[in-house]
Amino acid sequence: MEIIGTVKEIFDLQVFKKNFKKREILIKTEEQYPQILRIEFILEKTKLLNSLKKDDKIKIFINLKGKKWTTKTGKTIFFNYIQGWKIENITDTETNEFDELPF
């Protein structure tokens, strides 16, 4: 799956127990009804966010993840995650008709 959008915020790296790392990005999608999505990158994939900056237009390849968790009182809760694993910068390839002239 992939999502195309504009970078709105890049969050700081978080380090947890046993050297687990996570970093998140906030993007605004480009569709009829734009969405603001928070996408997480984990472990070595956190490095993919290092070269990005606010307002970059990108394509993010994602996996949807779900997790079941039971509280101490026995209540079951489900969590959903959007996890990124690859990013491509998108450049506008619009060319001006005069760009192709030899002079």
The model's pLDDT over 6-46, given as tens digits with 9 standing for 90+, comes to: 999 999 999 998 889 999 999 999 889 999 999 999 999 99
Three-class SS of residue 18? helix
The model's pLDDT over 54-96, given as tens digits with 9 standing for 90+, comes to: 999 999 999 999 999 999 999 999 999 999 999 999 965 444 4
Is 40 within 8 Å of 14 (Cβ atoms)? Answer: no
Please indicate, yes or no, if residue 98 is contained in any of the structural domains: no
Q: Angle at the Cα of 26 (from 41 to 33), degrees rounded to 5?
A: 125
Please indicate, yes or no, if residue 100 is contained in any of the structural domains: no
Whole-structure pTM value: 0.79
Please indicate, yes or no, if residue 103 is contained in any of the structural domains: no
- Total domains in the fold of the chain: 1
Please indicate, yes or no, if residue 11 is contained in any of the structural domains: yes
Please indicate, yes or no, if residue 99 is contained in any of the structural domains: no
DSSP per-residue string spanning 50-86: TT--TT-EEEEEEEEEEEEEE-TTS-EEEEEEEEEEE
Please indicate, yes or no, if residue 97 is contained in any of the structural domains: no
Written as one letter, the residue type at 90 is: I
Please indicate, yes or no, if residue 47 is contained in any of the structural domains: yes
**What's the domain range around 61?**
2-91
Tell me the CATH number at 79.
2.40.50.140
